[in-house]
Structure 1
């Protein structure tokens, strides 16, 4: 993470004990995120490559974000999306083989647009960073659990 107080660049790496193609298939089904990622409260598809999501971690503030697919590449296992609304920027998922499982690299380059959080960006930055870390940890745990159940079933 770096940049001005309202700008955030995050790098997350998740290790998952599942085949990379299976992990990619779960990540490309954004409509299912609320089923396994507890802080993603709602996903609404608005077009073939667009949608809206609402998420909230431990802070009592919902973030409403529009999403637009920029790249879906199953062969390379890369997903890239543009973000708008309360967060503006980009997010990229890359799934690669790692031993017997997969590594998910998540890169985010965003700017806070939500009015309250923009005003609090400088003094609340450590809290916002911790909030994001909790959300990402919950996503990793949720993805692992989701894949564990769905790979066993078929």
Structure 2
């Protein structure tokens, strides 16, 4: 077990280029995504994020840019640290609204996730859903209110 696959779709009333710009600007995440507690730049293609959603533990993740193609609306980062795998995004212009489809496939390395996977998997999945919901709301507010 210990592997997870998540899918999320965010609808944002902003131009695709604005959504793309916000999503690839990892350093700006703490400004609009409350569950991203800190970001530390490692190099031009890598950053380390510390995330904490509803459950009382943090995840430390290294994100390394794999694909960043604004014209195709494609983003992908490889993940390592407490989770290993990838996160991919596809941005689509719906004419006045932008759809951001997010797919994550990861294997948990953090001890608490591995130890309690069998009994707490639904709780971990709910925690992830809450985090993604706050991220979507934060991005919408950031891009529509100029936060």
TM-score band w.r.t. shorter chain: over 0.9
Map 1:2-151 onto structure 2 (within 5 A): 4=1, 6-150=2-146
In the superposition, the TM-score normalised over structure 1's length comes to: 0.92
Aligned-pair Cα RMSD in Å: 1.1
* Distance in 1, Cα, partners of 2:105 & 2:92: 21
Is the Cα–Cα contact under 8 Å of residues 62 and 80 in structure 2 kept in the other structure?
Answer: yes
Number of residue-to-residue matches in the alignment: 147
Gaps in structure 2 of 5+ consecutive residues: none
* Distance in 2, Cα, partners of 1:12 & 1:98: 17
* Distance in 1, Cα, partners of 2:60 & 2:137: 23
Gaps in structure 1 of 5+ consecutive residues: none
* Distance in 1, Cα, partners of 2:7 & 2:62: 21
